[in-house]
Amino acid sequence: MGSEKALVAEGVCHSYGKGGGRCEVLKDFSLTLEKGAFMALMGPSGSGKSTFLHLAGALLPPGKGKIVVDGREITAMGDGEATRFRRRNIGIVFQAFNLVETLDVSANISLSARLDHKAPDSARVALLLETLGLSGKGKKFPDELSGGERQRVAVARALYAKPALILADEPTGNLDVHAAHSLCEILKSLNGKLDTAILLVTHDPMVAATANEVAFLKDGRIAAVEPTSHDPAHVSRRYLEMYNPAQP
C-alpha cells in the first residue's frame, strides 16, 4: 500500500574503503520527500550526492540507517526483492543516459516490462513518446539520436512504470545549454502533471532552480532545505553562502 511520503531517509551512513583509508561520505543523513515534490540536492564534488541517489535507488546498501520509498523499506530488502522493487517503483535517470544501444527507442522505454517478462504497453509507450517530444522516434536506435533526445528517452523509460519516485543524477551533465534547458522545462512540466516525486542531483544553480526546493548537503548530512523561488541567482547565492562563508 502506498504512502504520502515518496521518500524517507533516516540516519543514513555510508563510507568507502577500509581501515586508515576509510572515507565517511554520509553521516546521519536524513531527508523526507513528499509525494509530488520536486527537490534538487546540491553539494560540492565528493559530498555524497550521487552516493545517496544510489542508496535511494536500491543500487547500494547503506552502512547504517533506513530508507523508505512509497511506504516500503528498501534497506530491509534482499538483492532480488530490491531489484524488482526498483524496476517497478523507482525511475532513475543517469548522466550517461544508460540506454541499451541494440534496442530501439520504444524497446528502451518499455525495458522494465521486458525484464519482468511482460508484454510492453504500446499505448503507454506512445503517450510517453508524445509527452517527451519524441513522436516518430520509436523505431530509431540511440546512436541515431541527439544527446538531448537520448536523455528524453531515459526520462520516458524512468516514467514508464508510473513510479512513486524519480531519481535524476546530473541529468544535464552531458547536454549542451539548449538541450539542458529543454530537459529542465520537461521535468518541471512533468512534475506539475504527475504525482511522482523528483529528486534531482546537480551542481548547477540553473538546473537546481527548476525544482521547487533545494537541499544542501554538507559534512555528510542535510544542512538546509529551502525554496528555490525558481531563481538561479538566489540558488547560486545560497550555494556560495553555504559552502564559501564570508570570512570575518
Confidence of residue 11 (pLDDT cuts 50, 70, 90): very high
Classify residue 108: in a domain, yes or no: no
Query: Residue 128 domain-assigned?
Result: no
142 belongs to a structural domain: no
What integer pLDDT is reported at residue 1 of this predicted model?
45
Residue 20 pLDDT > 80, yes or no?
no
For residue 195, CA distances in Å to 5, 79, 87 come to: 11, 27, 18
Residue 14 CA: distances (Å) to CA of 39, 145, 216, 243:
22, 37, 18, 21
What global pTM score does this model have? 0.92
pLDDT the model gives residue 3: 62
Mean pLDDT, to the nearest integer, of 218-222?
A: 92
Residue 39 forms part of a structural domain = yes
Nearest to 215 by CA among 93, 56, 81: 56
Q: Does 187 map to a domain?
A: yes
CA 40/CA 18 separation, integer angstroms: 31
- For 124-147, how does the pLDDT look when each residue is reduced to its tens digit (9 = 90+)? 999 999 999 999 999 999 999 999
pLDDT at 55: 94
Residue 176 lies in a domain: yes
Nearest to 68, CA basis, from 14, 3, 115: 3
Mean per-residue pLDDT, 89-108: 94
Flag whether 132 is in a domain: no
166 pLDDT more than 90:
yes
- 246, pLDDT greater than 70: no
> Could you tell me the three cell numbers for 136?
516518430
Mean pLDDT of 17-35: 84
The domain spanning residue 49 has which CATH number? Answer: 3.40.50.300
Q: What pLDDT score was predicted for residue 96?
A: 87
**Does 32 map to a domain?**
yes
* Tally of domains within the chain: 1
Alpha-carbon distance of 1 to 70, in angstroms, equals 8
Domain extent, residue 237, equals 5-98+163-243
Dist. CA 41–CA 39, nearest whole Å: 7
Nearest-angstrom CA–CA distance, 195 and 200: 16
